[in-house]
Amino acid sequence: MSLLEVRDLKKHFPIRTGVFKRTTGHVYAVDGVSFNVEKGETMGLVGESGGGKSTVGRTVLRLTEATGGEVTFEGIDVMKASRSDMNTLRKDMQIVFQDPYASLNPRMRIRDIVGEALKIHGIGTEAERKKRVADLLETVGLNSEHAERYPHEFSGGQRQRIGIARALSLNPKLIVLDEPVSALDVSIRAQVLNLLEDLQDEFGLTYLFVSHDLSVVKHISDRVAVMYLGKIVEISDSAVLYTMPQHPYTEALLSAVPIPDPHTERARRRIVLEGDVPSPANPPSGCVFHPRCPRAQEICTTAMPRLTVMGDAGERHEVACYFPARFGDGKRVVSDKPYTDALPEPKA
Amino acid sequence: MPDWDQQPPEEREVYGSAWVTEADGVDGRRTAEVVDEVIEEQTKPLGLWADTWRRLKRNHLALVGLGIIIVFISVGTVETVFYQMHWHVRASAQAEAADAPGYLAPYDPNETNYDLSPSGLGSPPSWSHPFGTDYLGRDVFSRTLVATRVAMLVGIIAVAIALTLGLLLGPVSGYYGGAVDSVIMRAADIFFAFPYILFVLLIMSVLGQGFQNVFIAIGVLGWATFARVVRGQILSVKSMEFVEAARAQGAGDLRIIFRHVLPNSMAPVYVAVAMAIGGAIATEAALSYLGIGIQPPNSSWGLMISDSVDYLAAGNWWWLLFPSLALVTTVFGFISFGNGLRDATDPKLKE
Amino acid sequence: MGERLLTIKDLSTHFFTHAGVVKAVNGVSFTLDRGETIGIVGESGSGKTVAAMSLMRLIPDPPGKVVEGSLMLGDRDLRTISDDEMRGVRGNDIAMIFQDPMTSLNPVMKVGKQIAEAITLHQDKGKREAWQMAAKLLARVGIPDADKRVDQYPFEFSGGMRQRAMIAMAISCNPDVLIADEPTTALDVTIQAQIIDVVREMQAQFDSGVILITHDLGVIAEISDKVMVMYGGRTVEYGPVDEIFYNAHHPYTWGLLASLPRLDESEKTRLTPILGQPPNLITLPAGCPFTARCPYRREECRDKWPAHEAVGPDHGVHCWIPVEERVAIRAGLPHFKEPAA
ipTM computed for the complex:
0.86
> Which segments of C43-96 does DSSP mark as H helices, in order?
48-55, 83-92
For an interface test with A, the pick among C212, C252, C264 (most A C-beta atoms closer than 10 Å) comes out as C264
* Closest C-alpha to B226, from B261, B274, B259, B183: B274
Q: For residue B57, with 0-12 CB atoms within 10 Å meaning exposed, 13-18 middle and 19 or more buried, which class applies?
A: middle
Closest residue in chain C to residue A242, using alpha carbons only: C263
B297 cis-preceded (ω within 30 degrees of 0): yes
Least confident span in B45-59, B218-232, C43-57, C146-160: B45-59
Query: Is the Cβ pair A90, B245 closer than 8 Å?
Result: no
Is the pLDDT at A195 greater than 70? The verdict is yes
* Closest C-alpha to B147, from B283, B334, B276, B294: B294
Q: Is the pTM of this model over 0.95?
A: no
Strand order in the sheet with A308-311: A93-96, A174-178, A206-211, A42-46, A223-228, A231-237, A314-319, A308-311
Which has more pLDDT, A92 or B291? Answer: A92
Chain B residues close to C198, C-beta within 8 Å: none
CA dihedral C195, C199, C205, C211 (to 10 degrees): 180
Give, in degrees to the nearest 5, the angle at Cα A33 between A30 and A35.
140
* Closest C-alpha to C180, from C213, C216, C209: C213
Q: Cβ atoms within 10 A of the Cβ of B316, count? A: 22
Least confident span in B25-29, B341-345, C227-231, C305-309: B25-29
Least confident span in A185-199, B193-207, C202-216: B193-207
pLDDT in tens, C254-282: 999 888 888 877 677 788 888 888 888 88
How far is the alpha carbon of A20 from chain B, nearest alpha carbon, in Å?
11
A193 contacts C261 by C-beta, under 8 angstroms: yes
Distance CA A30, CA A288 (A): 12
A232 contacts A31 by C-beta, under 8 angstroms: no
How far is the alpha carbon of A47 from chain C, nearest alpha carbon, in Å?
9
Query: Is the Cβ pair A186, C268 closer than 8 Å?
Result: no
For an interface test with B, the pick among A63, A87, A107 (most B C-beta atoms closer than 10 Å) comes out as A107
Distance CA C311, CA C238 (A): 10
Least confident span in B70-84, B158-172, B179-193, B271-285: B70-84
Closest residue in chain C to residue B22, using alpha carbons only: C87
SS3 assignment, position C40:
strand
What is the rounded average pLDDT of the residues B64-74? Answer: 88
DSSP classification of residue C292: G
Distance CA B45, CA C196 (A): 37
Going by pLDDT thresholds of 50, 70 and 90, the confidence category of residue B118 is low
Interface of B with C in 107-126 (CB under 8 A): none
Strand pairing category for A333-334 and C234-240? unpaired
Going by pLDDT thresholds of 50, 70 and 90, the confidence category of residue B23 is very low
Beta bridge partners of C226: C38, C240
Distance CA B161, CA B275 (A): 15
C54 contacts B47 by C-beta, under 8 angstroms: no
Is the pLDDT at A68 greater than 60? The verdict is yes
What is the rounded average pLDDT of the residues A269-297? Answer: 86
Q: For residue A1, with 0-12 CB atoms within 10 Å meaning exposed, 13-18 middle and 19 or more buried, which class applies?
A: exposed
CB-nearest to B251 from A97, A104, A120 is A120
Is the pLDDT at B94 greater than 50? The verdict is no
For an interface test with B, the pick among C14, C16, C18 (most B C-beta atoms closer than 10 Å) comes out as C18
* Closest C-alpha to B26, from C166, C157, C44: C166
Chain B residues close to C18, C-beta within 8 Å: 43, 54
B68 contacts B76 by C-beta, under 8 angstroms: no
Query: Is the Cβ pair A277, C188 closer than 8 Å?
Result: yes
SS3 assignment, position B305:
helix
C246 contacts C339 by C-beta, under 8 angstroms: yes
> Between helices C159-171 and C189-206, what is the axis angle to 10°?
10
DSSP classification of residue C259: T
For residue C341, CA distances in Å to A255, A262, A264, C69, C224 come to 21, 12, 10, 41, 20
pLDDT in tens, A94-119: 999 988 888 999 889 999 999 999 99
Least confident span in A24-33, A77-86, B90-99, C305-314: B90-99
How far is the alpha carbon of C248 from chain A, nearest alpha carbon, in Å?
13
Dihedral over Cα of B231, B232, B238, B242: its sign: negative
> Between helices B301-312 and B266-290, what is the axis angle to 10°?
40
A83 contacts A89 by C-beta, under 8 angstroms: no
Chain A residues close to C246, C-beta within 8 Å: 262
pLDDT in tens, C212-233: 999 889 999 988 999 999 999 9
Beta bridge partners of C12: C68
How far is the alpha carbon of C174 from chain B, nearest alpha carbon, in Å?
12
Q: Cβ atoms within 10 A of the Cβ of A125, count? A: 8
Least confident span in A156-160, A236-240, B342-346, C319-323: B342-346
* Closest C-alpha to C329, from C253, C238, C236, C265: C253
SS3 assignment, position B13:
coil
Going by pLDDT thresholds of 50, 70 and 90, the confidence category of residue C99 is confident
What is the rounded average pLDDT of the residues C188-193? Answer: 82
One-letter identity of residue B240: M
Mean pLDDT of all residues belonging to chain C: 85
Chain C residues close to B30, C-beta within 8 Å: 98, 100, 103-104
Is the pLDDT at C161 greater than 70? The verdict is yes
Chain C residues close to A185, C-beta within 8 Å: 43-44, 215, 278
How far is the alpha carbon of A240 from chain C, nearest alpha carbon, in Å?
10
Question: What Rg value do the Cα atoms of chain A yield, rounded?
Answer: 22
Strand pairing category for C177-181 and C209-214? parallel
For residue B209, how many C-alpha atoms fall within 13 Å in the half-sphere facing its CB?
9
Q: What is the pLDDT of residue C337?
A: 61
Query: Is the Cβ pair B47, A150 closer than 8 Å?
Result: yes
Q: Cβ atoms within 10 A of the Cβ of A342, count? A: 21
pLDDT in tens, C66-86: 998 889 988 888 888 888 888
Is the pLDDT at B99 greater than 50? The verdict is no
Distance CA B247, CA B264 (A): 16
Which has more pLDDT, C103 or B270? Answer: B270
Interface of B with A in 223-262 (CB under 8 A): 240-242, 244-252, 255, 259-260
* Closest C-alpha to B122, from B319, B340, B346, B332: B319
A53 contacts A30 by C-beta, under 8 angstroms: no
Q: What is the pLDDT of residue B209?
A: 72
C62 cis-preceded (ω within 30 degrees of 0): yes
Q: For residue B212, with 0-12 CB atoms within 10 Å meaning exposed, 13-18 middle and 19 or more buried, which class applies?
A: exposed
SS3 per-residue string spanning chain A: CCCEEEEEEEEEEEEEECCCCEEEEEEEEEEEEEEEECCCCEEEEECCCCCCHHHHHHHHCCCCCCCEEEEEECCEECCCCCHHHHHHHHHHEEEECCCCCCCCCCCCCHHHHHHHHHHHCCCCCHHHHHHHHHHHHHHCCCCHHHHHCCHHHCCHHHHHHHHHHHHHCCCCCEEEEECCCCCCCHHHHHHHHHHHHHHHHHHCCEEEEEECCHHHHHHHCCEEEEEECCEEEEEEEHHHHHHCCCCHHHHHHHHHCCCCCHHHHHHCCCCCCCCCCCCCCCCCCCCCCHHHCCCCCHHHHCCCCCCEEEEECEEEEEECCCCCEECCCCCCEECCCCCHHHCCCCCC
One-letter identity of residue C33: D
- The DSSP H or E segment spanning B235 is helix B211-238
- % of chain C residues with pLDDT over 70: 96
Q: What is the pLDDT of residue B119?
A: 61
* Closest C-alpha to C104, from B324, B118, B253, B19: B19
What is the rounded average pLDDT of the residues B149-165? Answer: 88
Mean pLDDT of all residues belonging to chain A: 89
C232 contacts C47 by C-beta, under 8 angstroms: yes
C63 cis-preceded (ω within 30 degrees of 0): yes
Highest-confidence range of A200-209, B66-75, C63-72, by mean pLDDT?
A200-209
Chain A residues close to B241, C-beta within 8 Å: 97-99, 102-103
Give, in degrees to the nearest 5, the angle at Cα A20 between A14 and A23.
20
Neighbours of chain C (3+ CB pairs under 8 A): A, B
